[in-house]
Amino acid sequence: MSAEWPLWEIFIRGQHGLNHRHVGSLHAPDAEMAMRHARDVYTRRNEGVSIWVVPSAAITASSPSDKGPMFEPSQDKVYRHPSFFDIPDEIGHM
Amino acid sequence: MYAQMVTSEATQDDPEKLAAFQARIDAGEKIEPKEWMPEGYRKTLIRQIGQHAHSEIVGQLPEGNWITRAPTLERKAILLAKVQDEAGHGLYLYCAAETLGVSRDELTEALLAGKMKYSSIFNYPTLTWADIGAVGWLVDGAAIMNQVPLQRTSFGPYSRAMIRICKEESFHQRQGFDIMRKMATGTDAQRHMAQDALNRFWYPSLMMFGPSDKDSVHSAQSMRWKIKMNTNDELRQKFVDQTVPQAEYLGLTVPDPDLRWNAEKGGYDFTEPDWSEFFEVLKGNGPCNAERLAARQKAWDDGAWVRGGLMAHAAKQAAAPVAAE
Ligand SMILES: [Fe+2]
Ligand SMILES: [Fe+2]
């Protein structure tokens, strides 16, 4: 058995009410061990209240070369932001 | 530093792509693993981050030497936590290196085969409890000098690992200083131990920054790529300027008769370490090189059945539900 332990991506909820956030990765033979390692490697100082471990191989990432077609179309749609519209002062807060 | 004398790799990429890449770095953009990068950038980073990771791991050995003999239960718990942090630092950095297309096992094997290095400082022995104070105060102190600017390095995963590490480092330096303070204000014998630790660790700490690199082409390339943020001399000067007043506070004497404040340059003049000793240590002839590598080799060999066994168990568990159907 010389197979290297697979890589896992670790997500931690820092506080109640917040999203889980990616904090890094680690090697582990299975999910249970990944969870134990994540606790030791990433929460030594109260960094979290909940951990997700995900096999890195299960993640599909957008490709850097698609950055233009993926994200540029939203740049010219300024009307998606509320600041695009003028609201008369008399109306007050809207 | 934790990564000393990292030679930059030559790059034979398309000049147009190279220029566009350099422009991104100059604009302060972070480079992420899947994006295009020059081969030289990738290889230099693998070597530098790998060497840094190895240093964190090997660096556990001189301190681990004192865990079972710490003078109080509290000191023992603190040292254990500190050494555990260093294991974490090694792991963050191996993961950062892995994003560049090398595996952690490959890096470990390269270290064991003598193809990769770790910082020269960890080839010195920790002979007394005061040495644990000196290591935290001086060695972690020197590491911080180098790691703080590296938080701004151009490679995203390296920068993020450095940010995590820096958050944990000041505890390391403070616990070391605290040990030194206790010893320096203790009995004559304790004060003597503290001074002796400073005497032995001063020059090896200055060596951590590496020899002067102001004329090195490798350093110039790494600085353009923001893999290296300061020259070795700049960091060494900063370290001396920060540390000398702390030694004075402790009532200890820096073992350098030519050390003096230079008002004109706003820093101390000091004696350079013996660079021939440094090169001998890098070649493998330091006091503890053989012992350190043997310890790593033993851990790797003795752990083989655990690594393999857990993989076999995981494979069996994964297959179990299918077999039951
Ligand atoms: Fe560290
Ligand atoms: Fe440290």
Mean pLDDT, rounded, of chain B: 95
Distance set, CA B317 to CA A29, A86, B161, B320 (Å): 11, 62, 33, 5
CA A47 to ligand 1 center in whole angstroms = 18
- Scanning B9-68 for CB atoms below 8 A from A yields 32, 34-36
What tokens were used for B53? 């990771």
Model confidence pLDDT, tens digit, residues A23-73 = 999 999 999 999 999 999 999 999 999 999 999 999 999 988 888 888 999
User: Residue B9's CB: how many other CB atoms inside 10 A?
Assistant: 17
Kind and range of the H or E run holding A68: helix A67-71
Centre of ligand 2 from the C-alpha of residue B174, in Å: 10
Spacing, Cα B56 to ligand 1 middle (Å): 5
pLDDT per residue over B42-88, tens digit each? Answer: 999 999 999 999 999 999 999 999 999 999 999 999 999 999 999 99
Q: Which helix (H) or strand (E) holds B41?
A: helix B39-58
pLDDT at A68: 86
Q: Is B85 near chain A, with CB under 8 Å?
A: yes
Over residues B85-95, the mean pLDDT reads: 97
Q: What token pair was written down for A39? A: 């606790």
% of residues, chain B, pLDDT over 70: 98
Give the mean pLDDT of B3-25.
85
Inter-chain touch A29–B103, beta carbons under 8 Å? no
The answer, as to whether pTM is greater than 0.80, is: yes
Work out the angle at residue B290's Cα, subtended by the Cα atoms of residues B285 and B295, and round it to the nearest 5 degrees. 155
Q: CA nearest B87 in A: which residue?
A: A41
Grade residue B324 by pLDDT with cuts at 50, 70 and 90.
low
Asked if the model's pLDDT at residue B121 lies above 80, the reply is yes
Q: Which amino acid is at A11?
A: F
**Reported ipTM:** 0.88
- Token duo for residue B8: 């930059």
- Residue B234's CB: how many other CB atoms inside 10 A? 15
pLDDT of residue B146: 94
Contact B133, B197 (CB under 8 A): yes
Please count the residue pairs, one from chain A and one from chain B, whose beta carbons lie less than 8 angstroms apart: 53
The model's pLDDT over B299-317, given as tens digits with 9 standing for 90+, comes to 999 999 999 999 999 999 9
Q: Nearest-CA neighbor of B38 among B150, B155, B147, B139?
A: B155
Give chain A's contact residues with B (Cβ, < 8 Å): 1-5, 7, 24-27, 29-30, 33, 40-41, 44-45, 61, 63-64
B213 contacts chain A (CB < 8 A):
no
Residues of A in contact with B321 (CB under 8 A): none
Q: Report pLDDT digits (tens) over B150-205.
A: 999 999 999 999 999 999 999 999 999 999 999 999 999 999 999 999 999 999 99
What is the rounded distance in angstroms from the CA atom of residue B88 to the CA atom of residue B46? 18
Which pLDDT band holds residue A1 (cuts at 50, 70, 90)?
Answer: very low
Instruction: Please give the Cα distance from A37 to B91 (Å, whole number).
Output: 11
Give the residue, B52 or B12, on which the prediction is more confident.
B52
Q: CA separation (Å) from B27 to B19, B152, B154, B159, B177?
A: 12, 12, 10, 16, 39
**Pairwise CB contact (< 8 Å): A1 & B311:** yes
Cα angle B2-B134-B92, degrees, rounded to a multiple of 5? 35
Flag whether pLDDT at B127 surpasses 90: yes
